[in-house]
C-alpha cells in the first residue's frame, strides 16, 4: 500500500527493483548504481519521515502492513501459551493473552489483535475488543499477580467496540474496573503503544508502570475522525483534529503521558519488521530488568505518583469567565 506522501520513496524503490533485474553487462556498473540508489533511498526515507504531519502519522499507524500482535509474538517472544475466556461470557479474539518469555523473563503477554487478512480482521473485529476481552485481560493480570510475573501489554486498537451488545454487557464498567485493578496490581506492568492507541479501548490494558510508544504510533482520547465529526460535523476535518489532539509520540512524551519513544526504522515499522522487533524488545527488557528489582511498595508508590502527575491543574491559567 502506497501512502500519498511516500511517492518519492516508492519511486526510488521501483528504480532499485528494476536495476536488480537488469541482466549482467547491460549497465556499466550496476553495483555502483544500486549502492547510490540505496543511499538515496535511506536519505529520502529519513527526510520524509522526519517531517510527518500528525495526520500523516495517523496514516502510518494504521498502515495495513504494520506489524500486529501475532507478528510481535513470533518476532519477540517465545513459548507463548495462549489462554482464552473471561469465565463469565466468552472469549474475545480481539484481545489475546497468555504466558510468554522475553529474554530471561517469564511474562503475562496481553495485546489487542487487529488481524492480517480480511477474514482475520473481521473475526477479530478490527482490534476493537468487547467487555469479555477486557475481563479476560483482567483475569490474566490477576493470574500474573498470583504467580509474581510481570505483565507486558501491546496496544493497537482504534477503540473499544461501541456496539449496542457491548454496551449491554458493560463495556464502560469493564474498562473502568481494569483501570482500577491495574492501579493496584502488585506486579510490574509495561505497556507498548505499537500502532493506534485509541480511547478507553487502549487505556483498558495500557495503564502501565512504563508506557512505551513507537515513534510513528498514535495515542488519543478519540480518533481524529470522531473528534472532527463532533466539533465540525464532518470527518473531512480529521487532519485538523489530529493536529489539535496532540496524538504523536514527541508531543505525548513532552506532556509526560508516555515514558519513552521506541525508534522505528527509516520508512516506518511496516518496512522493516525485524528492526522494530529488536528495538521494542530492547526497550521492554530494559524496563523489566529495572521494575522486577523493585519492592511491591515502591512499585505501587511510583505508579500512583506517575498517574497523579498527569493533568495537573495550574491555577495561574484559570479562565476569568
Q: Which of 155, 195, 221, 234 is nearest to 58 (CA)?
A: 195
Q: Which of 33, 51, 69 is the last residue of a domain?
A: 51
Q: What is the tally of structural domains in the chain?
A: 2
pTM above 0.75, yes or no: yes
What is the DSSP pairing of strand 151-157 with strand 189-198? parallel
In a domain, 251, yes or no: yes
What is the residue whose three cell numbers read 473528534? 227
What is the spatial distance between Cα 205 and Cα 208, in angstroms, rounded to a whole number?
Answer: 8
Structural domain ending residue among the three candidates 51, 67, 89: 51
pLDDT values of the chain reduced to their tens digit, one per residue, 321 residues: 778 898 898 888 888 888 777 555 455 456 778 888 888 899 999 999 999 999 999 999 999 999 999 999 999 999 999 999 999 999 999 999 999 999 999 999 999 999 999 999 999 999 999 999 999 999 999 999 999 999 999 999 999 999 999 999 999 999 999 999 999 999 999 999 999 999 899 999 999 999 999 999 999 999 999 999 999 999 899 999 999 999 999 999 999 999 999 999 999 999 999 999 999 999 999 999 999 999 999 999 999 999 998 876 666 655 444
- In a shared domain, residues 76 and 144: yes
Exposed (0-12), middle (13-18) or buried (19+): which is 64, by Cβ within 10 Å?
Answer: exposed
Same domain, 124 and 231: yes
Q: In terms of domains, do 45 and 62 share one?
A: no
- Of 98, 102, 99, the residue nearest 85 (C-alpha): 98
193: domain CATH number is 3.90.226.10
Rg (CA), the chain: 21
Helix (H, G, I), strand (E, B) or coil at 105: strand
Query: Rounded to whole angstroms, how far apart are CA atoms 9 and 2?
Result: 9
Shared domain for 17 and 106, answered yes or no, is no
CA separation for the pair 154, 111 (Å, rounded): 4
Residue 316 lies in a domain: no
Phi, psi of 248 (to 5 degrees): -85, 160
Asked which of 13, 32, 51 is the last residue of a domain, the reply is 51
Domain span at residue 17 reads 4-51
Amino acid at each position: 500500500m502506497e501512502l500519498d506522501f511516500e511517492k518519492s520513496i516508492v519511486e526510488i524503490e521501483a528504480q532499485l527493483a528494476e536495476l536488480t533485474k537488469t541482466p549482467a553487462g547491460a549497465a556499466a556498473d550496476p553495483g555502483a548504481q544500486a549502492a547510490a540508489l540505496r543511499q538515496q533511498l535511506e536519505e529520502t526515507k529519513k527526510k520524509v519521515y522526519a517531517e510527518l504531519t500528525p495526520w500523516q502519522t495517523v496514516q502510518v499507524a494504521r498502515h495495513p502492513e504494520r506489524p500486529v500482535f501475532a507478528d510481535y509474538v513470533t518476532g519477540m517472544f517465545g513459548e507463548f501459551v495462549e489462554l482464552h475466556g473471561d469465565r463469565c461470557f466468552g472469549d474475545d479474539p480481539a484481545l489475546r493473552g497468555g504466558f510468554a518469555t522475553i529474554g530471561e523473563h517469564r511474562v503475562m503477554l496481553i495485546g489487542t489483535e487487529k488481524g492480517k487478512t480480511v477474514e482475520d480482521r473481521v473475526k477479530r473485529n478490527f482490534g476493537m475488543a468487547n467487555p469479555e476481552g477486557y475481563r479476560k485481560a483482567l483475569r490474566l493480570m490477576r493470574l500474573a499477580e498470583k504467580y509474581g510475573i510481570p505483565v507486558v501489554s501491546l496496544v493497537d486498537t482504534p477503540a473499544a467496540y461501541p456496539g449496542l451488545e457491548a454496551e449491554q454487557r458493560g463495556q464502560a464498567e469493564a474498562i473502568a474496573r481494569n483501570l482500577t485493578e491495574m492501579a493496584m496490581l502488585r506486579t510490574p506492568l509495561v505497556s507498548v503503544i505499537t500502532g493506534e492507541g485509541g480511547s478507553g479501548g487502549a487505556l483498558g490494558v495500557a495503564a502501565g508502570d512504563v508506557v512505551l510508544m513507537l515513534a510513528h504510533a498514535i495515542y488519543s482520547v478519540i480518533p481524529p475522525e470522531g473528534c472532527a465529526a463532533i466539533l465540525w460535523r464532518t470527518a473531512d476535518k480529521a487532519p485538523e483534529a489530529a493536529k489539535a489532539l496532540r496524538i504523536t509520540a514527541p508531543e505525548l512524551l513532552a506532556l509526560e503521558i508516555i515514558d519513552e519513544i521506541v525508534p522505528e526504522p527509516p520508512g516506518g515499522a511496516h518496512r522493516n519488521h525485524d528492526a522494530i522487533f529488536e528495538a521494542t524488545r530492547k526497550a521492554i527488557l530494559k524496563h523489566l530488568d529495572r521494575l522486577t528489582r523493585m519492592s511491591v511498595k515502591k512499585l505501587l508508590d511510583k505508579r500512583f505518583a506517575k498517574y497523579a502527575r498527569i493533568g495537573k491543574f495550574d491555577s495561574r491559567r484559570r479562565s476569568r469567565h
